[in-house]
Each structure stands twice: as structure tokens, then as C-alpha cells.
Amino acid sequence: MATEEMRRIFYTTLASIPPGRYCSYGDIAKLCGVHVRQVLAWLRTLPRESDLPWYRLITGQRRIADYPGNERQYRRLAEEGLVPEADGRFPVHYRWPDA
């Protein structure tokens, strides 16, 4: 499959994550048939003005990755009602697709 077609599949899948839900980087990679490193590369190249819900992707440990500026991701998820539990993990029942 051509790289551009795979990227379109990724964008479509990312856009499919419903508001108030989250997906792990690994799960979206499996759904798209690519390695998680490819997902991370595509995320790094998303245009700043993109309306794709990049912020709904978190780690397999149900946490937001530690990176500069991650407070923006916490804020965007909180606006959708997603707040981490006391241990810093997001509730499993909000994972998409359902575990």
C-alpha cells in the first residue's frame, strides 16, 4: 500500500475517535496497519491548524506522554470531559475502540 494511502487511512481513523474518548498510539497503529513509529511521525507533521483530534491519542498506559507543551493536550481532553484519575491514568471505560 502506498504511503499516502496509509496516511489517509491514519487521518480517517484519527478523525473517527469520538469526542470524550481516547485511543492509544499502539491501538491506532494496529487499526491502520502500521508501526507505532509511523503514527508518531505523522503526528509530528500534522499542520498546526489541523482540526484532527491529535490530542485524543495517549500512551498504552492510559497516560499523556511527557513532552513540552502537554498541558495543551490535558486541557483539550478536559474540555471533552476526560480527566485523569488520581494515579494519572485516564479511565479505561473511555478507551476507543472498546477494549
pLDDT, tens only, 52-70: 999 999 999 999 999 998 9
pLDDT of 48: 84
Total structural domains in the chain? Answer: 1
pLDDT of 99: 62
Range of the domain at 87: 3-94
- Asked if residue 73 is part of any domain, the answer here is yes
CA distance 76 to 55: 7
Torsional class of 62: left (φ above 0), alpha (ψ -120 to 50), beta (otherwise): left
Instruction: Name the pTM for this structure.
Output: 0.93
- Asked if residue 99 is part of any domain, the answer here is no
What are the distances in angstroms from CA 16 to CA 19, 31, 87, 88, 99?
A: 9, 11, 28, 25, 16
- Asked if residue 50 is part of any domain, the answer here is yes
Torsional class of 81: left (φ above 0), alpha (ψ -120 to 50), beta (otherwise): left
DSSP 73-90: HHHHHHHTT----TTSPP
Q: What CATH number is attached to the domain comprising 7?
A: 1.10.10.10
